[in-house]
Amino acid sequence: MSHHYSGPDFGFPRGDARLDFTDLYAFPKPGDSRKSILVMNVHPSAFVNPPAPTTTEPFAPEGLYEFKIDTDGDAVADIAYRVRFSTSEGGRQTATLRRVVGAQAAGMDDSGQIIVEGAPVSMGPEARVTESGEHRFFAGWRSDPFFFDVPGAMNGLQFTGDDFFADKDVCSIVLEVPNSALAPKRLGLWARTLVGAGGKWVQVDRGALPAQAVFLVGTERDAYLAGEPVDDARFVAGFAHALEHAGGYAPDEATRVAATLLPEMMSYDPTRPASFPTNGRTLTDDAGDAFLGILTNGKVTEDGVEAHIDLLAEFPYLGPPHNVSMPSHSTSPIATELCKASRRMSSS
């Protein structure tokens, strides 16, 4: 799996599917190298334990969704794009996008310069896009671009090429931004979700690289999801322990590899072609295979699943959603094995 179901027992952080971060992508705009595309996916369309559809409301009105950008290599955000959503009325929801720079970008609030206000959220197959100056914005239900053989992963890595996500949906936030609004050189990128609680913002989920928070954090899950990349050194030992157990790494090598995975940020240079894991991540990069190679110390390097073919050639690039009201593939045996695997990793 990617970062889907990062809560306990493959559930959702704080039990709220709308705040569950699933994937992050960053790549140059096709046909225009002066701009970049940033994609944050949240809210899987189906539970796995027990199998059932999640809520039809795409985004949490009490939540905050952020792209965090480190421009100087200190693992602290220097730029943030923040998105808030209205309450759902009559099956409709709108979004406001803000941009903030400097010390405020590392803070816990929803301030910032308004880039887009009142943008319609796409509730169905039509991609409703909002333009503002050099920015374009999309938010709404989309076909999940992540591809991976989850049943095979839960069956001792005996893969058959069964793509669990082939008919699943997510809620996407897609930005087209000028590179001048990012950084003139390589940057670090991550995403996070927050919720308003007791008059303050509380971080619920965060991530940048696929599968780490699901398979490697173990008993430190809550602290990890609530943490910041700048403090990630404290999790190296836990990551190393999980790698020893899962991949048979020697202790010193496990520590070395764990240190390459932290702090958890996606490295992206907007002046170069994107290719995961070296530079950003496109919608067709096989991030699942990349993680398998790390997890197993090179013993397993592919799951036999190919990229999805429902992607669009233009903004917002992700394909139209499937039927978000009905889950499929989320069968009870798979849900049971997911929970067993989670407990094994947490107790190892």
> What are the beta bridge partners of residue 25?
39
pLDDT category of residue 328 using cuts at 50, 70 and 90: very low
Block residue for tokens 């001048």: 180
SS3 percent helix, strand, coil of the chain, rounded to 5, is 25, 30, 45
Q: What is the pLDDT of residue 346?
A: 42
When pLDDT is averaged across residues 29-47 and rounded to a whole number, the result is 95
Are 8 and 2 within 8 A, CB to CB?
no
> Of 4-18, 92-106, 306-320, which gets the smallest average pLDDT?
4-18
CA dihedral 323, 311, 39, 18 (to 10 degrees): 10
Q: What is the pLDDT of residue 48?
A: 75
How many residues appear in the chain? Answer: 348
Collapsed DSSP state (helix, strand, coil) of residue 334? helix
- Between 66 and 52, where is the model more confident? 66
When pLDDT is averaged across residues 339-348 and rounded to a whole number, the result is 48
- Of the chain, the percentage scoring pLDDT greater than 90 comes to 80
**Exposed, middle or buried by CB within 10 Å (0-12, 13-18, 19+), for 147?**
buried
Q: What is the pLDDT of residue 148?
A: 96
Are 164 and 149 within 8 A, CB to CB?
yes
Q: What is the pLDDT of residue 325?
A: 46
Cα-based distances in Å from 52 to 48, 210, 259, 328, 331: 7, 24, 37, 9, 9
pLDDT over threshold 60, residue 329: no
Q: What pLDDT, in 10s, does the model give residues 175-213?
A: 999 999 998 889 999 999 999 988 899 999 999 999 998
pLDDT category of residue 47 using cuts at 50, 70 and 90: confident
Residues 20, 42: Cα–Cα separation, whole Å? 5
Identify which of 217, 321, 297 has the alpha carbon closest to the alpha carbon of residue 264: 217
pLDDT over threshold 60, residue 257: yes
Query: What amino acid is encoded at 3 in this protein?
Result: H
Query: What amino acid is encoded at 130 in this protein?
Result: T
- Between 336 and 101, where is the model more confident? 101
Identify which of 149, 151, 176, 187 has the alpha carbon closest to the alpha carbon of residue 314: 176
What radius of gyration do the chain's Cα atoms show?
19
> Of 2-11, 23-32, 100-109, 130-139, which gets the smallest average pLDDT?
2-11
Burial 172-193 (b: 16+ CB within 10 A, else e): bbbbbbebebbbeeebbbbbbb
Quick one: DSSP state of residue 9?
A: G
Whole-angstrom distance between the N-terminal and C-terminal Cα of the chain? 19
Q: What is the pLDDT of residue 1?
A: 63
When pLDDT is averaged across residues 262-275 and rounded to a whole number, the result is 98
Q: What is the pLDDT of residue 344?
A: 52
- Residue 215's Cα: distance from chain center in Å? 14
When pLDDT is averaged across residues 217-245 and rounded to a whole number, the result is 95
- Between 199 and 289, where is the model more confident? 289
Are 318 and 284 within 8 A, CB to CB?
no
- Between 53 and 201, where is the model more confident? 201
**Can you give the pTM of this predicted structure?**
0.92
Q: What is the pLDDT of residue 2?
A: 86
Two tokens at 247? 């991949």
Q: What mean pLDDT value characterizes the chain?
A: 91
Q: What pLDDT, in 10s, does the model give residues 234-247?
A: 999 999 999 999 99
> What are the beta bridge partners of residue 68?
80, 190
When pLDDT is averaged across residues 71-90 and rounded to a whole number, the result is 97
- Residue 105's Cα: distance from chain center in Å? 19
62 phi and psi angles, rounded to 5 deg: -85, 5
Are 246 and 257 within 8 A, CB to CB?
no
